[in-house]
Amino acid sequence: MPQLYALSATEIVARVAARTLSAREATEAALARMDAVNPAINAVVKPLHDEARAAADAVDAAIARGETPGILAGVPITVKVNVDQAGHETTNGLSIQKDHKAEADNPVIANLKKAGAIIIGRTNTPAFSLRWFTSNNLHGATKNPWNPAITPGGSSGGAGAAVAAGIGALGHGTDIGGSVRYPAYACGIHGIRPTLGRVPAWNASLPERDIGAQLMAVSGPLARSIADLRLSLEAMSAPDMRDPWYTPVPMTGPPAPKRAALCIRPEGMKVAPEVEAALRGAARRLQDAGYTVVEVDALPPLREPARLQSQLWLTSLPRGGLAMAQREGEPASLAIYDYMQRLTQPADFHGFQDALTARAGFLRQWMMFFEKYPVVICPVSGELPFADQQDVQSFEAFQAVLEAQLTQVGLPLMGLPGLTVSTGMVSRTPVGVQLLAGRFREDLLFAAGAAIEAAGTPHTPVDPA
């Protein structure tokens, strides 16, 4: 019998509905687990004990009245410090925003609350949610519960570490360049970057984001099971017209052939032997589940979309972004902005126009490819999870990290969904694969992900090393 804190979200929902477990009991177990293990990993930087208990009691009271309090009723969850939660600071890992208190919930937070989820704490992110490593001047560094020598990922590193360690069944994350997919990979769990428009999100406390970020940034869940990802994505996707990109598309699309393309080295990227072994193992798992898997030498473009993604991201720097980074004075983010500009200068007007125009062509190529292969199997990263803080060791180290992350950075330009599925361990280091599909076909990702998961994943929750 697993500990209460180790129960999946789907198990908690079923038990709470059957009244064999109360929301308060599930919440107390998650809070106790947080108190026990969070000091070792610093995943949750603002625990919310009192609010969580009050929310759990409200769920139990609703059930006692015969009401149905939502599809995540009683599920403990963490949320990231870069989204507005009424009454709390949207720090984004910044000292200059330590007192920046939100007055209203971001739509994704509102949807989680409406679904009956119990928010037990707010999780760490790197300064500006910028890196694949999680540290900042305000909240400190988050450690990977499997191995403190490797990164927990970023920018949702706090969320990934919390879920892997059993601090809540689910974690909210955001992804503009791998920030859900990479922490899931590094922490031995699963995470989905949804299609642009699937999950409504907007921070009322901050200025409107530049168009590049609007086209690429999404909120999505991290979890220890594919079933929990599916359930939590449905909860997050409830309508909220405050997000003009929100699109009311059903969670399940028309039937598609069980056919997948396996690409080991997209656009010639270097892939470690352990990563290749995980990819081929996942392909065999899909074949055993009835999929036809075809190994292909190439996918539609990722390298040029990755360059344009960085270029659109950097347009914020001359428009006040760099001045803000300098005011924060956080060494790692200043170094990364410098490295990024050395590789790709911010676009001028014509370059900005060309980048947005090229986006349509790249998306067209990908959607046509998905007509033949509804699912793609490719690396999350070309390397096993990096040594912690590897990206700031030197410009050359950053270049190597960026190259290994090609499949993460290239995808968001097109607004496409991607799923990280954890598949195993290499000694004390998790490894996994990434699945891609067409717009709003998260259902195909979940079906393939569940088939891969069924053959075995790392045992979680893990006690921090």
- Residue range 131-154, pLDDT digits in tens: 999 999 999 999 999 999 999 999
User: What are the domain boundaries of the chain?
Assistant: 4-453
Strand residue runs (E) in 347-400: 375-378
Catalytic residue among 8, 22, 135, 155: 155
Per the listing, tokens 């980048």 go with 355
CATH class held by domain 4-453:
alpha beta
Catalytic residue among 22, 80, 156, 219: 80
Closest CA to 235 of 442, 73, 78, 8: 73
Closest CA to 214 of 222, 206, 225: 206
pLDDT at residue 1, as a whole number: 61
- Distances in Å between the Cα of 353 and the Cα atoms of 76, 356, 358, 396, 435 are 44, 5, 9, 30, 30
> Is 232 one of the catalytic residues?
no
Confidence of residue 240 (pLDDT cuts 50, 70, 90): very high
Closest CA to 118 of 90, 158, 79, 157: 79
Q: In percent, how much of the chain has pLDDT > 90? A: 96
Q: Which two tokens stand for residue 299?
A: 């996918």
> Is 114 one of the catalytic residues?
no
Confidence of residue 347 (pLDDT cuts 50, 70, 90): confident
CA-to-CA distance for 65 and 426, rounded, in angstroms? 50
Confidence of residue 318 (pLDDT cuts 50, 70, 90): confident
Partner residues linked to 222 by β-bridges: 171, 191
Q: Which two tokens stand for residue 247?
A: 């699109």
Do residues 124 and 43 make contact, with C-beta atoms less than 8 angstroms apart? yes
Alpha helices in 65-118 (DSSP H): 107-114
| Buried/exposed 403-424: b ≥16 CB within 10 Å, e otherwise | bbbbbbbbbbbbbbbbbbbbbb
Q: In percent, how much of the chain has pLDDT > 70? A: 100
Catalytic residue among 179, 219, 237, 333: 179
State the greatest distance between any 2 C-alpha atoms of the chain, in Å, as a whole number: 62
Partner residues linked to 192 by β-bridges: 419
Confidence of residue 465 (pLDDT cuts 50, 70, 90): confident
Alpha helices in 156-196 (DSSP H): 157-164, 181-187
Q: What angle do CA 431, 433, 435 make, to 5 degrees?
A: 160
pLDDT at residue 2, as a whole number: 77
The amino acid at 76:
P
Confidence of residue 93 (pLDDT cuts 50, 70, 90): very high
Q: What is the Cα gyration radius of the chain?
A: 20
The amino acid at 6:
A
Per the listing, tokens 């968001």 go with 412
> Is 80 one of the catalytic residues?
yes
> Tens of pLDDT along 375-396?
999 999 999 999 999 999 999 9
